[in-house]
Amino acid sequence: MNEDRVIDGWFGALCRGNAEEAARFLSPSFGINAGLCAHAYIDWELREFRERSHLLSSGYSVKFLRDEGRGKVFGVFDGCGRFLFEDEYCFGSDGLLVGNQRECDVVTKFHFVRGREPMRALCIPDARVRHARVVDPLVRQQLCGLGALGSSMILKFVLRGDDLGAHPSVVRLMFADRVCSTEVVFRGIRSPYFVDDMYARIDGSRVMVPVERGNIWSLTVVFMDGSAQEIGHPDRSIYLFAKPVSVVYLTDALDNDWETTGNGF
């Protein structure tokens, strides 16, 4: 089956919430995707689509963007043609979808802080992972720790002579009982859908969000008392909270994180 038709059919089935229909687009040789078997993968994708159904309520379109590693990256756009997100899919010899054969989910991104050198980053939303490390001779600095909400491991690093383009590396993932390695292509900023300067602004307990510049995946707000709150797909330009804000992380449609601290503008 043609790959574009497979992707169209897959997205259509997910939008309709039809697990049986979605299963028709997975290969018998599916294996695993981010540690999930075919049945669990469908269940996970259906939950994701249900949570974000409002983003697709005015229609959507899917477009092939690029080859990347062993997979192909497709972009999803809303009914107005605005970029929503991109995802990587792998295909078997039968033309149907197969898993990426990774032990867990990994999300590549950049971490931007105004006035500082950009860092590459990897989000690992899997509580089984205790530590992660990039194995790359060009790495000159890296650190790993829990994200603001404590639910994901975040690995950040700097490359010597980084041109901010796509960069393949090996990432070593450390579980409680084993260590495994996976090849990852870290995305670059040379995308027609990259929007620069997506920093939120903080004024006491008020946060200003640049929603007019593009779709935003999430807003993570850390308060002065150390507590945190996440807002998925914010659609308001101003959010007023009951307590003063310390740090805001805006995650854009390409999964990049834009960090604002205090009264940073």
- From the list 58, 16, 187, the residue with the least C-alpha distance to 8 is 16
User: Do 112 and 93 touch, CB atoms closer than 8 A?
Assistant: no
Quote the pTM value. Answer: 0.92
Average pLDDT of the residues in 133-151: 90
Task: Please report which confidence band the pLDDT of residue 263 belongs to, taking 50, 70 and 90 as the band edges.
Answer: low
- From the list 132, 82, 130, 83, the residue with the least C-alpha distance to 107 is 132
CB atoms < 10 A from the CB of 117, how many? 9
User: Do 263 and 202 touch, CB atoms closer than 8 A?
Assistant: yes
Q: Where does 107-186 sit in CATH, by number?
A: 2.60.40.10
User: Do 31 and 98 touch, CB atoms closer than 8 A?
Assistant: yes
Average pLDDT of the residues in 85-91: 95
Mean of the per-residue pLDDT values of the chain: 93
Say how far apart CA 61 and CA 75 lie, in whole Å: 8
Asked if residue 141 has pLDDT above 80, the reply is yes
| Helix, strand, coil % in the chain, rounded to nearest 5 | 15, 45, 40
Average pLDDT of the residues in 83-92: 95
Sheet holding 201-203, edge to edge: 201-203, 206-208, 238-240
Average pLDDT of the residues in 147-160: 89
Q: What is the rounded (10 degree) CA torsion for 155, 161, 165, 171?
A: -30
Say how far apart CA 131 and CA 173 lie, in whole Å: 6
Average pLDDT of the residues in 12-27: 96
Task: Please report which confidence band the pLDDT of residue 115 belongs to, taking 50, 70 and 90 as the band edges.
Answer: confident
Tokens of 162: 């980084």
Does 3-98 match 107-186 in CATH topology? no
CATH topology of domain 3-98: Nuclear Transport Factor 2; Chain: A, (3.10.450)
Task: Please report which confidence band the pLDDT of residue 1 belongs to, taking 50, 70 and 90 as the band edges.
Answer: low
Every domain of the chain and the residues it spans: 3-98, 107-186, 201-261
pLDDT in the model for residue 265: 45
